[in-house]
Amino acid sequence: MKYALFLGCNTPTKVFQYELSVRWVARKLGIELVDIEDMVCCGSNYANLDIEGSLLLSAMNLALAQARGLNIITVCAACTGTLAEAVEALKDKELRARINKKLSAVGLEYREGSKVKHFSKVIYEHIGVERIKKEIKRDLSKLTVAPHYGCHYLKPKSAYGGFDDPDNPQTLHHLIAATGALPIRYETLLLCCGGKTFPISQDLTYSLIGMKLENIRKKNVDCLVLQCQSCYLMYGTQQKNLSEKFSEEYHIPVLLYPQLLGLALGGDPTTDLGFNLNVPSADKLLETIEYKREPLTFEVQKVEKIEDEGVKR
């Protein structure tokens, strides 16, 4: 099982624990991830300025993967939606011809037939919940989890071939349950994280975040589990600002699904899965499953003094 890995813009720069846990889980489950250095932004934010320009960026990424005989695996839900929609749009021959004329300047050509799959979808469809259950190494049965699907993981429905019902999604619940944790259903399950509104109206974004966090806090969950780095940045890193704004103390751990899965598969929370990078801290969650973090140790090596005489710079 081999895919071209598309990390997007924010994962490797702002949510490195997502990339870290994805790579660890992929190795554990036999998914080969191929890095392509020439890949660019998916074009999501550029679509508001120039739709065809956005399609050109998407087509470039798709063509780079095609040149290596690979389909694309994504970790960002927004990137997934943008690339999957581009595959649908580029079925139009005239549009594809215009895009390919521009791609020819860099020696690329987009051809029909590309597939774009989110990492969670690959786990669900090609690994399967039954295999996950057989691979479990750590008991997570004490954890109660609130899933968050995000807006672009299943929408638009036409771009995903009926993978799940956007209005009544089930797949992330099944994936969480496969780890041994208990996923719940709750009133604000389908609520947007507010990521796209944040640059325009922080008040609206904080209102959306607050509704979700308040809802799941009343459910006494151990964490919120999601599958998009933009959603993580909203629900995780904005909790401190939200607490200050509304004079409410929010400290709900937020995990990326590969972190939860990796934990169940026996991965080290720090070195393999990046739990130490999570905001808010997930230490209480680790205590719940009775995981004892080993202190980090560093081996200090003695280095011989090097004389710099005669060294030219």
The tens digit of pLDDT for each residue in 200-250 reads 899 999 999 999 999 999 999 999 999 999 999 999 999 999 888 888 889
Q: What CATH number belongs to 2-118?
A: 1.20.1050.140
How sure is the predictor about 292, in pLDDT bands with cuts at 50, 70 and 90? confident
How sure is the predictor about 302, in pLDDT bands with cuts at 50, 70 and 90? very low
Distance CA 43, CA 15 (A): 19
Distance CA 286, CA 291 (A): 5
pTM for this predicted structure:
0.91
Q: What fold is seen in the domain 131-288?
A: Rossmann fold (3.40.50)
- Report which of 142, 157, 179 is spatially closest to residue 256, judged by C-alpha positions: 179
Cα torsion angle, 41, 46, 50, 55, sign:
positive
pLDDT at 294: 63
pLDDT at 305: 41
Distance CA 189, CA 36 (A): 35
Distance CA 301, CA 307 (A): 18
CA 145 to chain centre: 17
Which residues make up the CATH 1.20.1050.140 domain(s) of the chain? 2-118
pLDDT tens sequence across 38-71:
999 999 888 778 999 999 999 999 999 999 999 9
pLDDT at 181 over 80: yes
Which residues make up the CATH 3.40.50.11810 domain(s) of the chain? 131-288
pLDDT at 309: 40
pLDDT at 299 over 70: no
